[in-house]
Structure 1
Amino acid sequence: MENRKKVAFYTLGCKLNFSETSTIARNFQDEGFDRVNFEEVADIYVINTCSVTENADKQFKQIVKKAMKLNDKAFVAAVGCYAQLKPEELASVDGVDLVLGATEKFKITDYINDLSKNDMGEVHSCEIEEADFYVGSYSIGDRTRAFLKVQDGCDYKCTYCTIPLARGISRSDTMENVMKNAKEISERGIKEIVLTGVNIGDYGKGEFGNKKHEHTFYELVQALDKVDGIERLRISSIEPNLLKNETIDFVSQSRTFVPHFHIPLQSGSNTILKKMKRRYLRELYAERVAKIREVMPDACIGVDVIVGFPGETDELFLETYNFLNELDISYLHVFTYSERDNTEAMAMEGVVPANVRAKRSKMLRGLSVKKRRAFYESQIGLDRTVLFEGENKEGYIHGFTENYVKVKTPWNPELVNTLHHVNLTKIDEDGSVRMEFLNVLV
């Protein structure tokens, strides 16, 4: 047993990356490796990269340095989106031994026969057109929730985005495999599944990228609602043009799907939406929010928005600000636009200065705080169901209601991964909500 090699993982970026890291980690364990935390000494460090923000690129170098400090003889492998887009750049980082692109990352154990350090990182990456097969995955990092990947890639051509270059065409898991993975997750005692993918509303396109939909996202939602043992299902992020009324209506009546939607907007200005090549205008977005509110008045609605896109004048930014201010939403995820190679937006005129981007970002983050506070205030006095998480944070245990209100109560290890019926009593100084127990549910 002493000779078993140790492997550690670090994940940058989205929930989809976390689900894929988990799957890669299970492959290593099947091959006889022991998984350890990234802060521990390991024989192999695998870094799953992201290319969405400038920051993720810089973080990569710091993470490699950290691994080398822990064990300067360790074998370091980079996988993921940045590894697909800029393999040579990653390979040249001091300490990196192996770089695997989009199709190779799930076969990583095939490449690790010899753990001796390389002078220069070895690159195995494909032309992205070759990424036409689907690998299912799910993450089970903590005991309370799992990220279940149902779709990969994207056929949209948004002018700021590198994801189609990094992940290839839209393709989906089979319905049978999604159900099998969901059952496996439920058998591990996990209470909540978060559906994830690059563009999950496009679910159903065949494995080899054929444009025909074998099933629709709506059919997937209906089938998952019947899986025994799962208490909660959450839709992570879905394009407004793909979130259909039938899905919203189904969620409102569902046994397991919770009233929480995260819907990318990106801009509240139709001028900018057109420049971004988004597939909707703000009017459709407002309709989606109104429809959710009509059938689920207490639903939590989160919004992605990008500030500082080329051509975003003060007037156009104010269109976004005012649109969001008036919209009945619950919180924002604010992204500052950053230039990415091989995107149409790189060549656009009207570059917004960095200090203006930062100022706009701060304004929208302030709006998000206001929106979340108003949403939490609307929930005080109501009865909700809370799923408690596993960490002791300064003497408190936290959890989320079905509609994504963050609650806290004094630490009690017996509450971990249990569902409780509670009454929300007041907002605490740190912004989370206090509660009183009504009765244990599960």
Structure 2
Amino acid sequence: MEAKKVAFYTLGCKLNFSETSTIARNFEDDGFQRVEFTEKADIYVINTCSVTENADKRFKTIVKQAQKANENAFLIAVGCYAQLKPEELAEVNGVDLVLGATEKFKVTDYLNDLTKNDFGEVHSCEINEADFYVGSYSIGDRTRAFLKVQDGCDYKCTYCTIPLARGISRSDKLENVLKNAAQISEQGIKEIVLTGVNIGDYGKGEFGNKKHEHTFLDLVKSLDEVEGIERLRISSIEPNLLKNETIDFVSRSRTFVPHFHIPLQSGSDEILKLMRRRYMSDLYVDRVNRIREVMPDACIGVDVIVGFPGETDEHFLETYNFLNELDISYLHVFTYSERDNTPAAEMDGVVPLKVRKKRSKMLRGLSAKKRRAFYENQLGKTGTVLFEGENKEGYIHGFTENYVKVKAPWNPNKVNTLQKIRLTEIDDDGMVRFEELPEPVAV
């Protein structure tokens, strides 16, 4: 009997990519054949996101894409949006099965019958039941692997639905993380990106208990010793959880690269309080200064939200000026959108959509300026680039350890290789050209 074909589509964050990859391996272990999402498949699995309004709308577009490839296919929705609004997804034309936070890792258990349903069937737990941990990592999709080390969040930021979608903060056991990292290494992958909802909170046990067996620093130190991994990158980490000890360790570690992504959300202390963030702007400045002190060439990325309820022109300018003066490398700008069941959705001082978009555009312009200044500062310096696997209009792209994006004429032999380089000039498209350096001869 010919194996059933399954295809996957992931919306949202690196954590979702790691989980999709793990779910896909479960399908393959059960005898399914994985194909591209654009191909004809018997089953399509869409891993959803609920962070922005846009992600909700994109879900329907992706369902239509799947139906175009095979109108009789069985369509499954999993992930954050599937946990938050299962009935809404079940009503989308063509969706057959919706699985929530605890069910998504057992998806093949629900596939005894692939007959199309008139209405989507929902299996979604109460989120307080999401108290166990499933380790995940992504391989085979790119030259970097995303390794999940933590899930859920205990923070109560007023704009965020993630605790409602993913439950309490809980972490993988250290030995499991190290085992997964070793498996990734065996695949010949050179770089691992650590991912989770709130990775600096690493250490809370499997059931979200407060017994801290290992800290985030223990995790970082242990991963630094995994054989065969050339690079480790910390993805987004809260400023209040990024300790001096971690920064100092990264600065002298064997594999951790000088790249940090630290959510700020607002440069105004008044707005930070309304958001119920766990720090003020002065702590953020302190973190950036500490990184610059020990890693002058580090890349520092920032998340920021514009148009939060109560954000006046003065508050926005405070944020703009704060970021303009800060020695950072780029911004990820999010336009605030109301989410059901969050305190922020009930707040006064709603900022008109037009104003939100204008502020967003201003900060994106600032981000381009910051990235350009960071790249210019790196010209003439040497580094190592890890080349990606895609031929993009005759060029191969890659990233240096401190996240400078470089390009060179396409050469398939360079894919997934590390090359010592000197950065020479910024091209018209904003990427950096380089000259290759001979590798030092081992004595």
Q: TM-score, normalised by structure 1?
A: 0.99
Give 1:310's aligned amino acid.
Answer: P
CA distance in 2, matches of 1:97, 1:143: 30
Give 1:285's aligned amino acid.
Answer: Y
CA distance in 1, matches of 2:205, 2:305: 31
CA distance in 1, matches of 2:129, 2:186: 35
Q: Secondary structure at the match of 1:320?
A: helix
CA distance in 2, matches of 1:262, 1:25: 28
Q: Any gaps of 5 or more consecutive residues in structure 1?
A: none
Query: Quick check: 376-385 or 139-148, which moved more?
Result: 139-148
Give 2:386's aligned amino acid.
Answer: L
Matched with 1:374 is 373
CA distance in 2, matches of 1:77, 1:441: 52
CA distance in 1, matches of 2:143, 2:42: 29
> Which residues of 2 match residues 54-133 of structure 1 at below 5 A?
54-133=53-132
Matched with 1:398 is 397
CA contact (8 A) 1:380 1:425 kept: yes
- C-alpha deviation, 1:3, in angstroms: 1.5
Cα-to-partner distance string for 1:73-94 (whole Å, 9 max, x where unaligned): 1000000000000000000100
Matched with 2:191 is 192
CA contact (8 A) 1:159 1:345 kept: yes
Matched with 1:135 is 134
Q: Secondary structure at the match of 1:426?
A: strand
Matched with 2:313 is 314
- C-alpha deviation, 1:141, in angstroms: 3.5
Q: Secondary structure at the match of 1:161?
A: coil
Cα-to-partner distance string for 1:231-288 (whole Å, 9 max, x where unaligned): 0000010000000000000000000000000000000000000000000000000000
Give 1:397's aligned amino acid.
Answer: I
> Which residues of 2 match residues 317-396 of structure 1 at below 5 A?
317-396=316-395
CA distance in 2, matches of 1:281, 1:211: 25
CA distance in 2, matches of 1:197, 1:105: 17
1:156 and 2:155 are equivalent in the alignment: yes
> Which residues of 2 match residues 271-286 of structure 1 at below 5 A?
271-286=270-285
Cα-to-partner distance string for 1:38-65 (whole Å, 9 max, x where unaligned): 0000000000000000000000111111
Q: Secondary structure at the match of 2:437?
A: strand
Give 1:178's aligned amino acid.
Answer: V
Aligned-pair identity in percent equals 82
CA distance in 1, matches of 2:366, 2:140: 32
Change (3 A) 1:147 1:441: farther
Cα-to-partner distance string for 1:323-359 (whole Å, 9 max, x where unaligned): 0000000000000000000000011000000000000
1:298 and 2:297 are equivalent in the alignment: yes
- C-alpha deviation, 1:310, in angstroms: 0.1
CA distance in 2, matches of 1:209, 1:425: 49
CA distance in 2, matches of 1:90, 1:258: 40
- C-alpha deviation, 1:213, in angstroms: 1.3
- C-alpha deviation, 1:200, in angstroms: 0.1
Give 2:349's aligned amino acid.
Answer: G
Give 2:337's aligned amino acid.
Answer: S
Matched with 1:35 is 34
Q: Secondary structure at the match of 1:378?
A: helix
Give 2:11's aligned amino acid.
Answer: L
- C-alpha deviation, 1:214, in angstroms: 1.2
Matched with 1:171 is 170
- C-alpha deviation, 1:212, in angstroms: 1.9
- C-alpha deviation, 1:439, in angstroms: 2.2
- C-alpha deviation, 1:144, in angstroms: 1.4
Cα-to-partner distance string for 1:190-217 (whole Å, 9 max, x where unaligned): 0000000000000010001101211100
CA distance in 1, matches of 2:121, 2:419: 51
CA distance in 2, matches of 1:329, 1:236: 16
Moved runs in structure 1, 4+ residues, more than 3 A?
none
CA distance in 2, matches of 1:68, 1:440: 51
Matched with 1:246 is 245
- C-alpha deviation, 1:143, in angstroms: 4.5
CA contact (8 A) 1:41 1:70 kept: yes
CA contact (8 A) 1:421 1:441 kept: no
Give 1:77's aligned amino acid.
Answer: I
Give 1:429's aligned amino acid.
Answer: D
CA distance in 2, matches of 1:24, 1:113: 17
CA distance in 2, matches of 1:287, 1:127: 40
> Which residues of 2 match residues 217-256 of structure 1 at below 5 A?
217-256=216-255
Matched with 2:430 is 431
Change (3 A) 1:441 1:268: farther
- C-alpha deviation, 1:308, in angstroms: 0.1
Give 1:357's aligned amino acid.
Answer: R
- C-alpha deviation, 1:440, in angstroms: 4.5
Give 1:112's aligned amino acid.
Answer: L
CA distance in 2, matches of 1:173, 1:289: 28
Q: Any gaps of 5 or more consecutive residues in structure 2?
A: none
CA distance in 2, matches of 1:95, 1:141: 29
CA distance in 2, matches of 1:137, 1:441: 37
CA contact (8 A) 1:143 1:189 kept: no
Cα-to-partner distance string for 1:395-419 (whole Å, 9 max, x where unaligned): 1111100000001111111000000
CA distance in 2, matches of 1:6, 1:396: 32
1:18 and 2:22 are equivalent in the alignment: no
Matched with 1:410 is 409
- C-alpha deviation, 1:113, in angstroms: 1.0
Q: Secondary structure at the match of 2:62?
A: helix
Q: Secondary structure at the match of 1:9?
A: strand
Give 1:368's aligned amino acid.
Answer: S
Q: TM-score, normalised by structure 2?
A: 0.99
Give 1:34's aligned amino acid.
Answer: Q
Matched with 1:262 is 261
Q: Secondary structure at the match of 1:439?
A: coil
CA distance in 2, matches of 1:31, 1:111: 13
